[in-house]
């Protein structure tokens, strides 16, 4: 009965129920609405039905896991962009796997390898956020988080007090965490645009 009632809800109303009440029935309704369309888009990109089904599943699992933090105005637009981003990430993972195998590094379990790839991706994004910080903030965060220096060593290197180091570090990390949350969807759009341009030039 409830699912029949949810059939009358708009995507935006379902999103609100999912975000505010963790409503699994609303999630299932969205899933059913967009499964076939998502599968068709993935299949058009991959020409592999089994892979396409896996990617759709992963996409909706990711959406559910991040339901509290995602800012979505139009679900169909979000989904179209997320599909392209998901496909890009699949290509990137495969490319990195080939690179690792060609370099004949020690064999890795697939799950561990995926985690390493995601870590590299996040590290790249962290570096971009780092570059946007004020100069002293950027140096302090870099020395602390990338070079693993103590606050005392940073203070000595930059000729400032440890208290000032702590202030810059707190400010820098706060900006990075805030921008990471706010820019996550824009990051999806960025890579989706990159993917679109790449595919259209082939």
* Residue 66: per-residue pLDDT: 85
Please write the tens of the pLDDT for every residue from 32-54. Answer: 999 999 999 999 888 899 999 99
Domains 1-75 and 108-202 share a fold: no
| Domain boundary assignment for the chain | 1-75, 108-202
* Residue 199: per-residue pLDDT: 46
Angle between helices 162-200 and 151-158 (to 10 degrees): 90
Enter the tokens of residue 112: 């561990």
- The CATH architecture one would assign to domain 108-202 is Orthogonal Bundle (1.10)
* Residue of higher predicted confidence among 3 and 106: 3
Please write the tens of the pLDDT for every residue from 83-130. Answer: 888 887 788 777 766 766 665 545 445 455 555 555 555 566 667 778
Task: Write down the residue that tokens 């990109």 correspond to.
Answer: 45
CATH class for the domain made up of 1-75: mainly alpha
> Measured on CA atoms in the order 168, 174, 176, 178, is the torsion positive or negative?
negative
User: pTM value?
Assistant: 0.52
DSSP the chain: -HHHHHTTS-HHHHHHHHHHH--HHHHHHHHHHHHHHHHHHHHHHH--HHHHHHHHHHHHHHHHHTTTT---S-HHHHHHHHHHHHHHHHHHHHHHHHHHHHTTPPP--HHHHHHHHHHHHHHHHHHHHHHTS-HHHHHHHIIIIIS---HHHHHHHHT--HHHHHHHHHHHHHHHHHHHHHHHHHHHHHHHHHHHHHHHT-
């Amino acid at each position: 009965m409830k699912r029949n009632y949810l059939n009358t809800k708009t995507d935006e109303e379902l999103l609100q129920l999912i975000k505010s009440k963790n409503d699994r029935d609303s999630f299932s309704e969205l899933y059913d609405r967009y499964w076939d369309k998502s599968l068709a888009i993935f299949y058009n990109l991959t020409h592999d039905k089994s892979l396409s089904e896996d990617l759709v599943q992963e996409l909706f699992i990711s959406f559910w896991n991040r339901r509290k933090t995602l800012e979505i105005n139009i679900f169909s637009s979000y989904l179209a962009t997320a599909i392209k981003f998901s496909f890009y990430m699949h290509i990137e993972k495969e490319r990195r796997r080939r690179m690792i195998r060609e370099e004949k590094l020690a064999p890795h379990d697939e799950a561990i390898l995926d985690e390493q790839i995601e870590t590299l991706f996040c590290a790249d994004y962290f570096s971009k956020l780092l570059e946007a910080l004020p100069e002293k903030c950027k140096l302090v965060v870099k020395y602390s988080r990338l070079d693993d220096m103590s606050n005392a060593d940073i203070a000595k290197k930059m000729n400032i007090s440890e208290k000032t180091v702590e202030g810059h570090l707190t400010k820098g990390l706060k900006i990075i965490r805030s921008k990471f949350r706010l820019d996550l969807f824009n990051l999806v759009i960025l890579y989706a645009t990159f993917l679109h341009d790449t595919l259209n030039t082939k």
